[in-house]
Amino acid sequence: MGAQIPLVDYLVLDDGDPHLLAQECTNCGARYFDRRNACAGCFANEFKTVAVASEGAVRAFTIVTFAAPGIPVPFVASVVDCDGTQVRANLINVDPTPEKVHDGMKVRLATYSLGADSAGTEAIGFGYEPA
C-alpha cells in the first residue's frame, strides 16, 4: 500500500501514535480544531498548537438511523470529552444500540481506512472506540 493521508488536518498519523491537535487560545485556553482568526470566547487572536488526549468519555450521543443515501446506518454520533477538549466524532467498533453505548462510557481514539485511490494512497479517518 502507498502513503496514508488523514481526512482532516488535525489528525496526526506520521509518528506511529495517531492523535489529534487543537489550536488553544493563549489568552483563555479555549480549544478549536482547524485554523482560527480569533477566539470565539475572548476574541484574542493568538493560538498555540496542543495535543489532545487520546482517551476520554462520551458526554453526549445519538444513534443515527436515517442518513443521506450511501451512508450506512445505524451509527453513533457523539461528543467525547478528552481531558477537557470536546471532540465531535462517531463511535466505531461498538454495537450502535442503547444497551452498548452510554454517557460516561470510556473511549479511545481509533483510526480506520476510508479507501485508497488508484495510486494506492489511503485516506484515514478517526473515531472513538470502547476503551
pTM score: 0.91
pLDDT at 58: 98
Averaged pLDDT, 63-90: 96
**Are the CB atoms for 91 and 112 separated by under 8 Å?**
no
Give me the sign of the Cα torsion angle 4, 52, 127, 9.
Answer: negative
Averaged pLDDT, 113-120: 93
Q: How many domains does the chain have?
A: 1
Residue 35 is part of which domain span?
4-130
Tell me the per-residue pLDDT of 36-74, one tens digit each, with 9 for 90 and over: 899 999 999 999 999 999 999 999 999 999 999 999 999
